[in-house]
Structure 1
Amino acid sequence: MSLIVKIKKQLDNFMLSVDMELTDEVVSVIGMSGSGKSMTLKCIAGIETPDSGFISLNGRVLYDSKKRINLHPGKRRVGYLFQDYALFPTMTVMENICIAMGQRNEEKVKGWLKRYGLEGMAYTYPNHLSGGQRQRVAMLRMLAANPECILLDEPFSALDEHVKRSMESELMEMLTDFHNPVVFVSHNRDEVYRLAERIGSMESGVLSTVRDKKDFFMRPMSVEQALLVGCNNISEVKWQDKHHLLAVEWDSVFEVTDEQLEQTAMSMDGISHIGVFPQDIIISAGKTKTALAYADKNIIRIKDYKIIEELKSWEILCKLNNDSIIYASLPRHTEANMLSKNINDELYIKNFYLLG
């Protein structure tokens, strides 16, 4: 089972450019709003037409600009779960699902409804269902059409926070026996990490290389990828030599190892920024000077700081001598009074990422 997408489409602000292949797996496309994620799904489904390229599903050509092939959406066998679920408002739950099946099989539908907590709602209209119930119905309607590929467009965005996690579990249960490609679009990194096997980022219409999710989160390759995975300390760099660079915004020199350069798979000319996760900053060292403890390597000096209490952590806003801000974090169990007494005027960066 495979989905191959190699398309281009000119949009208002950029050229959409997608090149990806997936098998019977869940692949996520993560990106900022307006980056081209939903448009990619619409092109795969046949709702929108690319300017050029090729799309095939399990060996069937869905779109080929050179051969002028462009299958109607109804013939593609692609299931699409919209953000608003797109249930027919004048049809009951039973009718919504049966129309996707192409036949009326009430016994089968009632069995599905019972399995997914919708028993007794077969003749209910969508406007009388909760958000979670509408999503279950939309999923069942999509699966009832026996698709060869599923496209999920921000499936949890309309749900309350306390409902999202249970719906994630139900969605994955529904997909347990679906051994076909699934493309999951989201801007929520937590959802993406839990649900996807591989991830690619959409940056101004260009889809990055799709990578293993752990590699994607632990080794961002660009500024936008870094921001998407929570690495919100970013600085432009100037190289001093092969093993030293200046983080311009922080006015600090960092030592770069050969191993770090090899892992980036980029030349020095292609590395324009440095990224640091808040949790990779050591912000206190008791009475011991950080510079002495760490041989004066990868040090950022600060003149002031502010401690902010978050739900699960302490966020430390550190102001540098040039008034730039860098964010650090500590686990929530750290005592606030001890924290404020132990912060020195130097931060040690224990890990950082080279970004293109």
Structure 2
Amino acid sequence: MSGLEADIRLERPLPLNVQLQVAPGEILALVGRSGAGKSTLLKALAGLVPMQGHVRVGAEEWTGLPAHQRQVGYLFQSYALFPHLSALQNLLLAMPAPDQPRARALLAAVHLPGLEDRRPHQLSGGQQQRVALARALARNPRLLLLDEPFSAVDRPTRRALAATLQDLRADLAMPTILVSHDIEDVAALATRIAVLEGGRIAQLGATADVIARPASASIAELVGR
């Protein structure tokens, strides 16, 4: 599996000038205030907004590729499951080639065995988010993007979901970017933190270092110091 190298520059919907490198198997957390550009950066990486610069995964150039040609697993805050499809069908639809045994194995890996035939309205919020995580992995992604994946569930469910993602880390050989406003989730999951301010990276470093030694008062407030 290959790492990510990106130089993202855009003016709309908000100015961004960000350079990132994320190693295979690494989880990089993006933190920042509302409007700092976190979700916009994920959309640029996924090919959902036009940008200047470049995006490379390994030796493969993604710049200019439309979203459907990028091998990206994208976990949205709102789950974005198809309501008329079962959990299993949601995964099968996301796969390049439907593979029922693998889809069932992914649902088991996120602790949903026996719930394959339930539709989203028959699942709790935490269970829906587990289906969404399994679906993001079902595409065999080379890059995994997690946009506030735990914000719509309560604290016990957040901890359980974070533990599930932690359990899967050994199998997540792709680079992963996590957007979260919850420093507890970030501390539990991320290898490094990138702090976005005004569309630029204000601080980048190992998770423990950024939390212990924030570079400014505003960053200290973000990381709870």
User: What is the TM-score normalised by the length of structure 1?
Assistant: 0.60
Q: Which amino acid aligns with 2:29?
A: S
Among all aligned residue pairs of Structure 1 and Structure 2, give the percentage whose two residues are the same amino acid: 36
**RMSD over aligned Cα, in angstroms?**
1.5
SS of the residue corresponding to residue 180 of structure 1 reads coil
Taking the aligned partners of 1:177 and 1:3, their CA distance within structure 2 comes to 17
SS of the residue corresponding to residue 210 of structure 1 reads strand
The number of equivalent residue pairs is 223
Q: Which amino acid aligns with 1:32?
A: R
Cross-structure match for 2:21: 21
Specify which structure has the bigger relative contact order, considering alpha-carbon pairs within 8 angstroms and separated by 6 or more residues.
Answer: 2
Q: CA deviation at 1:226?
A: 1.5
CA 1:4–1:171 in 2, change beyond 3 Å: closer, same or farther? same
Q: Which amino acid aligns with 2:103?
A: V
Cross-structure match for 2:170: 176
1:53 and 2:47 correspond: no
1:119 and 2:106 correspond: no
- Which structure carries more strand by proportion? 1
Taking the aligned partners of 2:149 and 2:98, their CA distance within structure 1 comes to 27
SS of the residue corresponding to residue 215 of structure 1 reads helix
1:2 and 2:3 correspond: yes
SS of the residue corresponding to residue 35 of structure 2 reads coil
User: What is the TM-score normalised by the length of structure 2?
Assistant: 0.93
Q: CA deviation at 1:99?
A: 1.1
Q: Which amino acid aligns with 2:129?
A: Q
Q: Are 1:2 and 1:59, in contact at CA under 8 Å, matched by a contact in 2? A: no
Q: Are 1:202 and 1:208, in contact at CA under 8 Å, matched by a contact in 2? A: yes
**Runs of 4+ with deviation above 2 angstroms:** 102-117
1:78 and 2:79 correspond: no
Cross-structure match for 1:321: none
Cross-structure match for 2:124: 130
Q: Which amino acid aligns with 2:50?
A: T
Q: Which amino acid aligns with 2:218?
A: E
Cross-structure match for 1:152: 146
CA 1:154–1:146 in 2, change beyond 3 Å: closer, same or farther? same
Q: Are 1:29 and 1:183, in contact at CA under 8 Å, matched by a contact in 2? A: yes
- Which structure carries more helix by proportion? 2
Cross-structure match for 1:310: none
Taking the aligned partners of 1:175 and 1:99, their CA distance within structure 2 comes to 24
Taking the aligned partners of 2:9 and 2:101, their CA distance within structure 1 comes to 44
Question: Which is greater in Rg?
Answer: 1
Q: CA deviation at 1:218?
A: 1.3
Taking the aligned partners of 2:206 and 2:109, their CA distance within structure 1 comes to 32
